[in-house]
Structure 1
Amino acid sequence: MGGNLFKLGRLPRADYKVIETELIQYLDQKLGEYYRIPRYYDDKPDFGDLDIVVSSAVLTGNWEQLRNEIINDLGLTQYKSAGAVFSTVYRNFQVDYFVRNHQYFESTYNFLCFNDIGNLIGKIFKRFNLKYGEQGLQYVFRRADNHYHKDLAVSLDIDKIFGFLQLDIAKWRQGFANKTEMFDWVVACPYFSVAPYEKLSKKME
């Protein structure tokens, strides 16, 4: 996410698709069903990196062992590991691998799909004292004195999560043709408010 660690710049869509296709062929053999590449809107013109979500269920040894196998298999010479994030350079393009507990594998993938959609939905849920992120939907419990708080699991089911906000899950599954269509989908939520963005705009003035 971000794609600026190695200062490589962005790739046009056609060049990105070549790299994505090559890695899909490799990962299908290497990881099988235990990886996901977050989706993006259809006419996205360029890309800063390629994100790959990896399930912990595929680890027969440990995360370090899998990283070393990827390095050797792909002949990588530039890479950096920080906890559960493994950033690499493949064909002069940044590729980031994120290993996640299998319990949150699909929910992480769902959250990362379609650029900033997940963050926008998270802002809507915040109005209800709920938190939406890689671990699905959670309730933020706070004690009256505000000295203790805990995130309590509500749901990992994307249909139920989007259904709560009356968002069109069928459209999300179908995908979006462009950025405008993607944002229109979010704005159609009856609970959407411009207030958080107006406050942000004022802070930046």
Structure 2
Amino acid sequence: MGGSAFSLLLSSSSFPRLPSAVYEALKARLTPVIQSLYLHVAIPAEAPGKMDHGDLDFIVCSPRESSAYTLAPHSVNAPHDRVKAALGASHCVLADGNRTSNFAILGRTRCVECCKLQGENDIYYQVDIHVTENKDEWDRVVYFHSFGDLGMIQGLVARNVGLVLGVNGLKYQNPPHPTLTLSTDYDRISKFFGWSNERRHAGFNTRKEIFDWVAESRFFDPKYFKSSGAGIKKVKPERTMYREFVLFANEQAARPGVTTMDMEEVLRRREDVRNEALVEFGWRDEVDGHVRLYEARKRLKCVFNGTTVKDWTGLGNNWRGVKIVMDVVRKKHEDEEGILQVLMSEGEVGVKQCVMNAFEVCLQDPAFPPKYGGNKDI
């Protein structure tokens, strides 16, 4: 049901679902209107077999400048009042930037296709305009939202091999290290997964065709497949196409001769695919560098602390003196990051030498070591 954006203004019954004929007529009428406002305009391809629609979604970017108005500097939006007027919208919920604005357009009360839903009351069509920041984002959003739940289904296949595929591309998560975006090129991503770009671009006539296309992925293997549990988000019940795919996958897994794998094998296969993805998209060195740095930081905490400095310098429990030495080391090497580089290049021996050099400098001060100190480690 459309109209959820206007629940505080209008009842849900004011937004009947649109039969395909009404939807197509609305799309044909409004597409030129939106194209007069934005350079790039698309309506994501619908899922095959969809009989009615809750609303009409436009994905747009690059507002056109008109002689009637001047765009604000760096704006990604056509003026909202111009959009509302061009659509003939009665109500709107507006959002600036690369977000979605909602428009309620008064329907034709004598429309034959909807007459059984309308009665004598006014009905509205909800039109959503999702503004993207640039052409690259526009391409990604159009791709991921085409063919109904297909993007979510592709994301589920990716999750099964330890990767994240969404509207912002293919990502590699490896906590506590930073999440990496491996690629935002969906043609390249599809090739990696083993999905035919040519077949997808040609379109699909049935949901079964879509499911068969997804199953062509070299990473879709029924004996490894799971649709719930850790790492997989719960999907809303209205995602019927997604649910149908899960049933399709479960049927594949239930075929004679297909045996499920134990968790150890599942995890081993997942790590193999993740490593392959790093190599394929050129991120292997980057990830290895993050891991080395993370391990070095953990090691630095064990090497450069009050206890080790106390032992190396022989300062005993004179913690104020220990702190002074450590502060001299930090200043000399521009804080912990500089000491970390010493550890990574010269090891613990190098860090100890830095400490002893700082200790020698401190000994030149007649007031060192101070007489009083706390009783807490540094």
Superposition deviation, residue 128 in structure 1: 3.5
Give 1 or 2: higher helix fraction. Answer: 2
Using the TM superposition, give the Cα deviation of residue 72 of structure 1 relative to its aligned residue in structure 2, in angstroms: 1.6
Query: What TM-score, normalized by structure 2, do the two folds share?
Result: 0.47
Determine whether 1:35 maps to 2:41: yes
CA contact (8 A) 1:163 1:169 kept: yes
Equivalent residues in 2 for 1:106-145, closer than 5 Å = 106-143=139-176
**Relative contact order, CA 8 A, sep 6+: which one is greater?**
1
Among 48, 52, 60, the residue aligned to 1:54: 60
Is contact 1:124–1:193 with CA below 8 Å preserved after alignment? Answer: no
Letter of the aligned partner of 1:122 in structure 2? G
RMSD of the TM alignment (CA)? 2.5
In structure 1, C-alpha distance between the alignment counterparts of 2:210 and 2:169, rounded to whole Å: 20
Partner of 1:180: 208
Listed one character per residue, the Cα deviations across residues 133-152 of structure 1 (whole Å, up to 9, x for unaligned) are 12122222421xxxxx5432
Displacement of 1:197 after TM fit?
2.8
Letter of the aligned partner of 1:39 in structure 2? A
Distance 1:93 1:80 in 2: 14
For each residue in 1:42-71, what CA deviation from the matched residue of structure 2 results, as whole angstroms up to 9, or x when unmatched?
Answer: 54221111111122x327323565222111
SS of residue matched to 1:88:
strand
Tell me the distance in 2 between the aligned counterparts of 1:113 and 1:29.
Answer: 23
Give unmatched runs, 5+ long, in structure 2. Answer: 7-11, 65-70, 108-123, 238-378
Scaled by the length of structure 1, the TM-score of the pair is 0.82
- Choose which of 181, 187, 191 in structure 2 pairs with 1:159: 187
Q: Which residue number corresponds to residue 71 of structure 1?
A: 84
Point out where structure 1 has 5 or more consecutive residues left out of the alignment: 144-148
Paired residues for 1:3-14 under 5 Å:
3-5=2-4, 6=6, 7=12, 8-14=15-21
Larger radius of gyration: 2
1:85 to 2:100 alignment: yes
Cα distance, 1:4 vs. partner?
4.5
- Equivalent position SS for 2:172: strand
Deviation track 1:106-145 (CA, whole Å, cap 9, x = no partner) reads 01110010110001111111233322112122222421xx
- Say which structure is richer in strand: 1
Query: Quick one: percent identity of the two aligned structures?
Result: 25
For 1:174, the aligned partner's letter is A
Count of matched residue positions in the alignment of Structure 1 and Structure 2:
194
